[in-house]
């Protein structure tokens, strides 16, 4: 029996080594693109995810390359899921509790309503309903990261990756615009630093842009907006889980697990971080690693997508994401203005 186990382990090790060796060229390409995007964003500013995506699309000719294809697929799926799971290192239960029940309920309600609005709008525009869920979830929760996580449980079809790329490009662009415009709106409406933080954290798509917009106003606004944003990130688990249950089956025809492993990892990290089991140094490392893995995954998705396919999508998907963004902003403004006038 011991000899049998040792032989089985050797076979398993050889299979893993072979798979890693086959994946190495493609993963290396994706990591190189991610590093180039990080360098450009760090030195000249601009949205990191968008850079990685566009650089990746410039290397679309590698998508059918036999040596690179396995690593690109690995980066677009496995690396992506690990990156999403590690987002849990940013969140604690105490941060959520500090916001107060009213703010928590407002965020939960606006997230749910925005996703519902996206689903309804997609049906009215003649688009696939899962496209509406994807874009609505990306706008409502945390931009590109949410789009990547949600796409992993949506049905597979020929346009799935094209819809994902379009969603990532759109929410990243709109989030950058919001980072500049929304602080001006908060100032024009005479919001206090705390209320401005709630507004920015509840409406801007990506975490980085929320941080940039918040601290543009004040330290209190930046702190508040970041915590509100992390609450939206925490809603990623129940939303993706609900999508997986409601949609039932993936494109492969097999039932998806009730709780995907990457979501389980996300929840475990949130719990461990909340109980103080994750040292601050490790927390920072995990957060940075999460960002690096997500950028690598975005680069892989960019490689798999051609400009030609994006050019053929038409105006409806773009209009849908713009409408969802405006819907979320107006909804939050109405709630906040009602509270202020009460």
Task: Report yes or no: 268 and 23 within 8 Å, Cβ to Cβ.
Answer: no
d(CA 288, CA 280): 12
Residue 255, beta-bridge partner list: 249
pLDDT of residue 5: 53
Boundaries of every domain in the chain: 24-341
Task: Report yes or no: 31 and 295 within 8 Å, Cβ to Cβ.
Answer: no
Per-residue buried b or exposed e for 186-207, using 16+ beta carbons within 10 Å of the residue's own CB? beeeebebebbbbbbbbbbbbb
Cα maximum dimension of the chain:
76
Question: Smallest Cα–Cα separation from 236: which of 116, 109, 147?
Answer: 147
Helices within the chain (DSSP H only): 2-44, 48-58, 69-74, 80-86, 93-98, 101-124, 129-140, 143-151, 160-188, 193-203, 207-217, 219-234, 236-247, 261-274, 280-303, 307-311, 316-341
Burial class (CB in 10 A: 0-12, 13-18, 19+), 22: middle
Tens digits of per-residue pLDDT, 100-159? Answer: 888 999 999 999 999 999 999 999 999 999 999 999 999 999 888 889 889 888 888 888
Sequential DSSP letters for 196-244:
HHHHHHHH-SSHHHHHHHHHHH-HHHHHHHHHHHHHHHHTHHHHHHHHH
pLDDT of residue 134: 95
pLDDT of residue 16: 66
pLDDT of residue 113: 97
pLDDT of residue 111: 96
Q: How many CB atoms lie within 10 A of CB 161?
A: 16
- Cα→Cα distances 282→15, 38, 285, 288, Å: 31, 21, 5, 10
- All residues at 6 or more sequence positions from 2 whose CB lies less than 8 Å from its CB, including other chains: none
pLDDT of residue 250: 46
d(CA 321, CA 232): 18
- All residues at 6 or more sequence positions from 166 whose CB lies less than 8 Å from its CB, including other chains: 310, 313, 317, 318
Task: Report yes or no: 49 and 295 within 8 Å, Cβ to Cβ.
Answer: yes
d(CA 241, CA 9): 34
pLDDT of residue 11: 47
DSSP category for residue 249: B
Q: Which residues in the chain land under pLDDT 70? A: 1-16, 248-260, 307-313, 339-342
Task: Report yes or no: 81 and 220 within 8 Å, Cβ to Cβ.
Answer: no
This prediction has a pTM of 0.76
Question: Smallest Cα–Cα separation from 152: which of 139, 140, 137?
Answer: 137
Give the SS3 label for residue 46: coil
């Amino acid at each position: 029996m011991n000899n049998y186990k040792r032989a089985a382990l050797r076979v398993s090790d050889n299979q893993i080594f072979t798979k890693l060796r086959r994946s190495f060229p493609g993963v290396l390409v994706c990591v190189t693109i991610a590093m180039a995007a990080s360098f450009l964003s760090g030195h000249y500013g601009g949205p990191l995810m968008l850079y990685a995506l566009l650089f990746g699309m410039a290397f679309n000719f590698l998508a059918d390359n036999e040596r690179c294809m396995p690593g690109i697929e690995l980066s677009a799926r496995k690396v992506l899921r690990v990156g999403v799971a590690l987002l849990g290192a940013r969140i604690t239960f105490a941060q959520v509790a500090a916001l107060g029940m009213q703010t928590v309920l407002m965020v939960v309600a606006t997230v749910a309503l925005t996703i519902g609005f996206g689903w309804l709008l997609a049906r009215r525009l003649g688009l696939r309903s899962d496209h509406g869920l994807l874009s609505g979830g990306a706008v409502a929760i945390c931009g590109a990261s949410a789009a990547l996580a949600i796409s992993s449980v949506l049905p597979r079809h020929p346009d799935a990756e094209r819809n994902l790329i379009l969603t990532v490009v759109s929410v990243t662009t709109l989030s950058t615009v919001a980072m500049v415009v929304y602080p001006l709106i908060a100032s024009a409406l005479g919001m206090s630093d705390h209320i401005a933080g709630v507004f920015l954290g509840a409406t801007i798509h990506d975490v980085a842009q929320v941080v940039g917009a918040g601290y543009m106003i004040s330290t209190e606004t930046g702190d508040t907006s970041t915590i509100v944003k992390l609450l939206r990130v925490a809603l990623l688990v129940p939303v993706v889980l609900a999508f997986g249950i409601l949609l039932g089956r993936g494109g492969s025809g097999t039932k998806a697990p009730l709780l995907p492993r990457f979501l389980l990892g996300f929840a475990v990290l949130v719990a461990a971080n909340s109980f103080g089991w994750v040292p601050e140094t490790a927390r920072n490392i995990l957060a940075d690693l999460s960002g690096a893995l997500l950028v690598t995954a975005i680069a892989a998705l960019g490689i798999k997508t051609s400009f030609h396919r994006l050019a053929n999508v038409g105006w409806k998907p773009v209009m849908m994401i713009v409408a969802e963004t405006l819907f979320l902003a107006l909804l939050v403004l109405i709630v906040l203005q009602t509270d202020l006038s009460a």
